[in-house]
Structures are given as structure tokens and as C-alpha cells.
Structure 1
């Protein structure tokens, strides 16, 4: 049976991974919209001593919900692979335009959080892929309740776009670890992509 490891122990396992993007251990936190990715990534980042979190909401736009791959590779992955700082312009969802440039230096551990963080084009640059184990309908209902009826039209467009994305470029089959939320905390389970059925982020004590 699996256990719920303390976040600090899980963070230690992440920091022990080999670098995957220049000096950066880039770990994706993927899952359906509304599945709890942002909250979990923030908790994990804090347990890792304040590791940076790069949120894909800053790279996506209203017109490019999933067509941000080129910008991420050029503005973030490319510079980090050379040991340089990433420079990107986060999107302002209220104003509908890109904001002023932000610089994000390479760090030993960076969490990449958002729907599609484990997509095909990014997996060669990832040290690990975590998937929030919540079904799409439950996730979307949770997100709709959070955002309120004024964003119902956006959610209608989003769920259709997300369904198309994961149909053609699924992330879950390649996840090293499945993260399941419970009243006691977060349960870490070996994912479909884990080698020999074990999560690379947990000790044997955590997994048995």
C-alpha cells in the first residue's frame, strides 16, 4: 500500500534528480484544468525551499490556449539549456495582452505547472512528470465553481480545447508519478511512465 510522504521528503527526491535542461531539474506538474495543480505546485515549491514555479498560464493566451510551445522553447528552454536566464512576457488575462518582460534565472529545481506541461515537445527537457490524478469532469466542475458563472463561456471553449489537446498529445501515460489528493494530504503513486513500476521521487519506505 502507498503512503503519504511529507512534502519535504518528496522535494528532496526531486532535488536529487539529474539536471534535464542545462543546470535545471525541470519537473512538470500536469493535469486537467481545475485538478489542483497550482495549489500543489505552490506547496511543493515551498517544501523545496522556494523553488521557482513557471506557470503555463503566463505563456498561453486567449488565442493560443495550447499553441505556446514555440515561445516556451525559444524564450525559456533554450536559454536555460545554455545556462542563461529565461526572458518571457507573461500574458495578462484581464487586459488580453502580453505584459512587460520577466527574467527567470536557471535554478537547481524549477516546477513547470499547467495543462500540457508534460506534452510531447517538452518531455525531452523534463527531469520528471507529475500528474494530478483527478478525472476531467470533476476537475472542470471544480474550476467552474472557483471562477464563477461569468467565465462559463471561457470554460466551454477551454474544455473543448483541452479535450482535443489530450486526445492528440496525452501526458498521463508518460507520468512518473500520480498525485492523488486526499483529506490527509497528497498521495504519491507510481505513474504509467515510471520505470519498473516505481516512482523515482520516493524512497522504498514511501512506496510500500
Structure 2
């Protein structure tokens, strides 16, 4: 599993999509696993319990997508069999026992905010500061950047 990590707006989604395409690998986005704006840790647990632990045990991995409008987990998705799995998002690199590598993307805060708000507009704007605090707390407890085999200034 390759984790593409970094703070919101750093360019993870674009890079992960390109890498997954190149590797012909399934791509899981942490945005689909977070349990809402306060669900970063729960999303990491979902990644472990629904995807990584089953795959490591040789079992099928089936995850559920968070429905942001309904505020609950929705339909199930099966992870296709493949040599590689790419997971992108904050928390993707938090489970080192399951990782083959971590790529960390970094960008200045003003650039990240501009990109994120251009991408998600008014949906994200009221949550930017709160999500940034979640990222701060999460990365203070999880030294993911230090685990990265590749750091990209984007």
C-alpha cells in the first residue's frame, strides 16, 4: 500500500490519481472514510478495520462511503484485487504496519487554502479552521512526515 499524505490542499488527490493510474491500482480517498468534519480518527480506524487488516489477512476488503449530506455511512465498495493499493488523504500513512511507502506533499498554508476552497468552495469554507485544528492535533500525535520515503514541495 502506498499512502499519499499531507495537509488539506497540498495536492494529494491529483498525485494519488496519477500514481494509481500508472500502477493500475485501486485508489481509496480518505474523504470517503472520514465520519464527517470531526471524523478524522474514525476514518483511519475504518481504513484499518475495513481495508488494510482484511487485505493483510488475505480476505476481501469492503468499505463504506461516508455520505456527507446524510451524515452517515452509505453504500459498500469492494477493493478490487491488485498488486498495489493507493490511499490518499490525511491519515492514510498512520498505519505503518500495513504500508509499503509514504509520499508526503507539502505546500504553504495560503496556497493550500486557496486550492481547497477553489476545489470545494462554500462547502469547505466554514470548516477550514476546524479541520486544520484536527490536522494539527493528528500530526502532533502521528509522525507521518518522518515516515515518508519521499517529500514533495508542491
TM-score when scaled to structure 1? 0.68
- Name structure 2 gaps, 5 residues minimum: none
Displaced runs of 4 or more, over 6 A: none
CA-to-aligned-CA distance 1:95-153 (integer Å, 9 cap, x gap): 2221111111342011011012112xx01110011011323443133212332245321
Task: Pick from 76, 100, 105 the counterpart of residue 75 of structure 2.
Answer: 100
Contact preservation (8 Å) 1:83, 1:106: no
Name the structure 2 match of 1:35: 10
Name the structure 2 match of 1:58: 32
Contact preservation (8 Å) 2:44, 2:91: no
CA-to-aligned-CA distance 1:52-81 (integer Å, 9 cap, x gap): 111111111114123323322221112101
Name the structure 2 match of 1:170: 143
TM-score when scaled to structure 2? 0.89
Bigger CA radius of gyration: 1
Give 1 or 2: higher helix fraction: 2
Q: Evaluate the alpha carbon distance shift between residue 150 and residue 29 of structure 1 in structure 2; reply closer, same or farther with a 3 A threshold.
A: closer
Contact preservation (8 Å) 1:51, 1:110: yes
Structure 1 residue 90: Cα displacement: 0.7
Tell me the matched-pair count.
153
Name the structure 1 match of 2:152: 179
Q: Distance in 2 between matches of 1:101 and 1:77?
A: 15
Structure 1 residue 42: Cα displacement: 0.7
